[in-house]
Structure 1
Amino acid sequence: MRDVHRDAFAGSEGTPAEVGLVDALRADVGWIPALSIVAVEPDGQIVGHVVATRGHVDGRPALGLGPIGVLSRVQRRGVGSALMHAVLAAADARDEPLVVLLGHTEYYPRFGFVPSTELGIAPPDPEWAAHFQARALTAHTPELTGTFEYAKPFNDL
């Protein structure tokens, strides 16, 4: 997984922050093994990874999605979309109520994400508001509103 995120987020010198973030998330109480999903080629090579970890909305359980990474040589071939569908389906099957992410506003709506404020969810940093998105899952209730808090490693970035 480290190699996937290193390649997917390459662009500047040094190790991308996402590599260390995944390591820190794996060691955190918010890590949910069933929501760490990899994409594998027929030869067994891991080419993509997505993770959702325990977060909270005013103390109530929810999920924070990310990072999601795909090796550059297989990007734009549907691997990222397959990972998104898989992690959202797995979260829904676990009766999770809500998934949030910070991401591109023209990409993530195809997976059902809307501006988080439409669901009454405030970002942990108000400056993120334009890109902070949420998706309600089957177990969602309208009472789940408030400010989202990511797993601790996100705060250490």
Structure 2
Amino acid sequence: MQPYQIRSETIADVAAIAEVNQLAFGRQNEAYLVEQIRQSDRFIPSLSLVAEVDGKVVGHILFSYVDLVGEQQLQVLALAPMAVHPTVQRQGIGTQLVETGLAIADTMQESLIIVLGHPAFYTRFGFKPSIHYDIEPPFSVPEEAFMSKPLKHHQTTYRGIVAYPPAFNGV
């Protein structure tokens, strides 16, 4: 595999990001999700990252704000979606996208990240089933697939039910 670069998305990447998400997931839902989040107040430009090989976008990851509703309502991060072009999957691009995103979120002093995904993949980065942190999904999902990762600025009072913004309704 050729060397790749991880960087924040630019306006010129929008179509390529949509294509990577569509090809990786085999449907439009995730590409639509990215577009809806991008147009919302939950979008964080520095946490929409692309992997690029020879000027071509081959991967994308997006972290955006969701709410954690408990005794208080807190803004935390959701990792969704993460996509790698099918022709370059299983070559470390997804791993590097996650690691870079986690590092940026930490430097931004974010506290917690939520993900609904494959446990075998995300547990490698320190994600654990959210139930361990008294964090619940807003819908029925296998316990092991709904995970959280506290960052350096996490406080143990962060517990409750995750409330996704309307952008997530179509996924």
TM-score (norm 1): 0.92
Give the deviation of 1:55 after TM superposition. Answer: 0.8
Alignment equivalent of 1:34, drawn from 46, 49, 52: 46
Q: 1:132-147, aligned counterparts within 5 Å?
A: 132-147=146-161
Alignment equivalent of 1:55, drawn from 66, 70, 74: 66
Give the deviation of 1:128 after TM superposition. Answer: 4.4
The answer as to whether partners of 2:29 and 2:170 remain within 8 angstroms in 1 is no
* Structure 2 unaligned residues grouped into runs of 5+: 1-16
Match of 2:145 in 1: 131
Helix, strand or coil: the match of 1:126? coil
Match of 2:57 in 1: 46
Alignment RMSD: 1.2
The answer as to whether partners of 1:54 and 1:61 remain within 8 angstroms in 2 is yes
The answer as to whether partners of 1:39 and 1:47 remain within 8 angstroms in 2 is yes
Give the deviation of 1:147 after TM superposition. Answer: 0.7
Question: Aligned partners of 2:158 and 2:96: how far apart in 1?
Answer: 28
Q: How many residues align?
A: 152
TM-score (norm 2): 0.85
The answer as to whether partners of 2:116 and 2:145 remain within 8 angstroms in 1 is yes
User: Are 1:19 and 2:31 matched, yes or no?
Assistant: yes
Match of 1:87 in 2: 101
* Higher normalized strand content (fraction of residues): 2
Match of 2:22 in 1: 6
Alignment equivalent of 1:108, drawn from 116, 119, 122: 122
Helix, strand or coil: the match of 1:106? helix
Q: Which amino acid aligns with 1:57?
A: L
* Structure 1 unaligned residues grouped into runs of 5+: none
Q: Which amino acid aligns with 1:51?
A: L
Question: Aligned partners of 1:35 and 1:136: how far apart in 2?
Answer: 17
Q: Which digits, 9 at most, give the CA deviation of each residue in 1:91-117, with x for residues without a partner?
A: 111111000010112211001100001
Question: Aligned partners of 1:132 and 1:32: how far apart in 2?
Answer: 22
